[in-house]
Amino acid sequence: MRNIWTICRKELKSYFASPIAYLLLAMYATIFGFFFWNAVGYFVNISMQSTMMGRSFPMDVNEMIIRPLLMNTSVIGLFLIPLISMRLFAEEKRTGTIELLMTSPVRDMEVIMGKWLAALILYSCLLGISLLDMGFLFAYGKPDWRPMLVGYLGLLLQAGGLLAIGALISTTTRNQIIAGAVTFGVCLLLWVFEWVAGYETATWATVMGYMSVVRHYEPFSKGVMDSKDAVYFLSLIFLGIFLTSRSLESLRWRA
């Protein structure tokens, strides 16, 4: 446990000592800010219209602002996660510090967990920024916080799974750019797989649909936590971390 925390702290320090963390935070604040502004603007417009038409029932903030925003956040995640995970192992391989980690009395699994946890914490910081924006909704309206909580939990699960995959890809190269690009490709595929399931009904298309990250995230955005979606993301996390440990092991044998 102590080892995991040692590695995790060092990773976080590296993120925040380099421009990468601040760059991500700034990018995320801008992009999410835009989506938020856009969603609220749209909502205000619609509710004005509906009052003018004489309908006086309240508009649902959860349904009309929070849910689409969470879906957007899920997709933004697909783009930002490769930027977080790409350096995890590639950088250590490039500078040779991997030799320090692998000759220290720590297990490979502890190294992986520490790094994965640090990446997840950085992603949580990004989500924290979106919470600042969401705060305005609570200041000026009365949205239900429970579905939102489930939505954020889903975002963390999704990030956990994709970061584990990203970590795996990062162990295969000493070039961060390659790791990032491949992870981005995989994230994108896991998103668009769903499209096939839209029109094709063959088994393979159904399977591809099941593999889609976005499809499994959608219920979370509505505040619904279905066990099959949770299991999907948890399996992604376990698979990613397990394969990462295998990959590190094979690195030793091939070295």
Q: Which residues bind other proteins (CB under 8 A)?
A: 2-3, 6-7, 9-10, 13-14, 17-18, 95-107, 252-253, 255
C-alpha dist (Å) from residue 119 to 63, 83, 192, 213: 30, 10, 24, 19
State the nearest-atom distance from the C-beta of 96 to other proteins, in Å: 5
Which of 9, 222 has the CB closer to other proteins?
Answer: 9
**Minimum Å distance from CB 172 to other proteins?**
15
In the complex with other proteins, the residue whose CB is nearer, 111 or 187, is 111
Smallest gap from Cβ 47 to other proteins, in A, equals: 49
Residue 164 CB, nearest approach to other proteins (Å): 22
Q: Of 228 and 252, which CB lies nearer to other proteins in the complex structure?
A: 252
Minimum gap (Å) between residue 82 Cβ and other proteins: 21
Closer by beta carbon to other proteins, 63 or else 108: 108
Q: Which is nearer to other proteins, 104 or 235 (CB)?
A: 104
The H-assigned helical ranges of 107-226 are 108-140, 145-170, 176-199, 203-211, 213-221
Tokens at 58, concatenated: 């309240």
Tell me the residue type at 9: R
For the chain, state the CA radius of gyration. 20
Q: Can you give the three-state secondary structure of 12-41, one letter per residue?
A: HHHHHHCHHHHHHHHHHHHHHHHHHHHHHH
Our CB check for other proteins shows the closer of 54 and 105 to be 105
* 254 membership: H or E segment, kind and range: helix 227-254
Q: How many CB atoms lie within 10 A of CB 216?
A: 26
Q: Which amino acid is at 183?
A: T
Q: Is the distance from CB of 187 to CB of 128 less than 8 angstroms? A: no
User: Least CB distance from residue 147 to other proteins, whole Å?
Assistant: 40
